[in-house]
Amino acid sequence: MDDPLRVIAEQQGVFLRREAVACGYDDKTIARKRRAGTWYRVRHGAYCFGDVWATYTAEERHLALARAVLRTTPGPVVLSHSTALLLHGIAVWGADLTRVHVTRLDAGAARIERDVVHHVAVCPPHDVVEVAGLPVVTPTRAVIEAATVQSLESALVSADNALHLGLSTPSGLYETFGEMHHWPGSQKIHVMFNQMDGRVESVGESRSLFLFWRQGLPRPELQFEVYDENGCLVAVLDFVWHRERVFGEFDGKVKYGRLLRKGEDPGEAVFREKKREDQVRSITRYGCGRLVWRDLSFPRETGDRFRSLLGRAA
């Protein structure tokens, strides 16, 4: 017979102390299971199984914590900000995943706890939806909310991805912002509107564009298609500067994983990508600049490298 607590955890994400007690466990047994790693305490009074917790990514642990918060927080609340973004499957970068964000629907006060941030705001019914059985603000509202408490770079990553996934629209974001523009931290959203682009396909590309902008480089054309003499599509380039005759590519490990064909190892994918680059060079006669994750951590040096490349090409 299935362990009833595992059934609860599978359905609810976590099980509560009172549910463990109802199954015959006392506090000493619960403490012993925690020390042994059999159970993991997600937050006070909420647990999951240690073998399951060990397999979770940082994002999955955040969502498990979100379920625990909902099950242990008195009063009606809705998941919001970066927590809502994760539930909608929208890319989140640079967010603090140790705290869940909720917006209170009652008269409760705004406050910050060890593992949860309580926001107070007007949240009309049309701004609340259900995802995986959980109350959560809409993708559009979540993008705007998260932008008020995160960096501009983080805000752009989520806005680009929400637009790319079709979960939001520029007009929807403008309209929602018009209702919330008085919020603290909303000034940066004007810049986000000017820079966001739904053609951006990855976190790395969003961050690369942010780097180009902050370093004063011209904005490239995105997702430029290159065809051979037979009209066959050879490549879709991440970035192209036509005047300077340069194209740019962001190379994350995920990219090669995505391009990996059945039975092909990563080395073969890299070699094939190099052949693709040579073919693009031959067709366009453009120079190439590549970025990897490490380059994004050194924006000045990377900006100087691309500034030199664009200057030489021009």
- Separate counts of helices (H) and strands (E) for the chain: 15, 13
Tell me the average pLDDT across 141-161. Answer: 96
Mark which of 169, 195, 221 sits at the end of a domain: 195
The span from the CA of 102 to the CA of 118, in Å, is 5
Same domain, 100 and 173: yes
- CATH code for position 275: 3.40.960
Q: 96 is in which domain, residue-wise?
A: 58-195
Instruction: Determine the residue type at 254.
Output: V
Q: Torsions phi, psi of 16, nearest 5?
A: -100, 160
First to last CA, the chain: 72
In tens, the pLDDT along 264-297 reads 455 555 656 778 888 999 999 999 999 999 999 9
Check whether residue 183 and residue 120 sit in a common domain: yes
Total structural domains in the chain? Answer: 3
pLDDT tens for 99-136 read 999 999 987 788 999 999 999 988 899 999 999 999 99
Q: How confident is the model at residue 256 (pLDDT cuts 50, 70, 90)?
A: very low
Residue 182: burial class (beta carbons within 10 Å; 0-12, 13-18, 19+): exposed
Give the pLDDT confidence score for residue 254 in this predicted structure: 46
User: Do 66 and 111 reside in the same domain of the chain?
Assistant: yes
Contact indicator for 209, 302 with CB cutoff of 8 Å: no
- Contact (Cβ atoms closer than 8 angstroms) between residue 13 and residue 63: yes
**173 and 269 both lie in a single domain:** no
pLDDT bin (cut points 50, 70, 90) of residue 182 is confident
pLDDT digits (tens, 9 = 90+) for 215-252: 999 999 999 999 999 999 999 999 999 999 999 999 86
Does residue 185 sit in the same domain as residue 289? no
Do 130 and 162 lie in one domain? The reply is yes
User: Is the entire prediction scored with pTM above 0.95?
Assistant: no
CA distance 208 to 205: 5
Q: Quick one: tokens of 166?
A: 């079709």
End of a domain among 33, 53, 73? Answer: 53
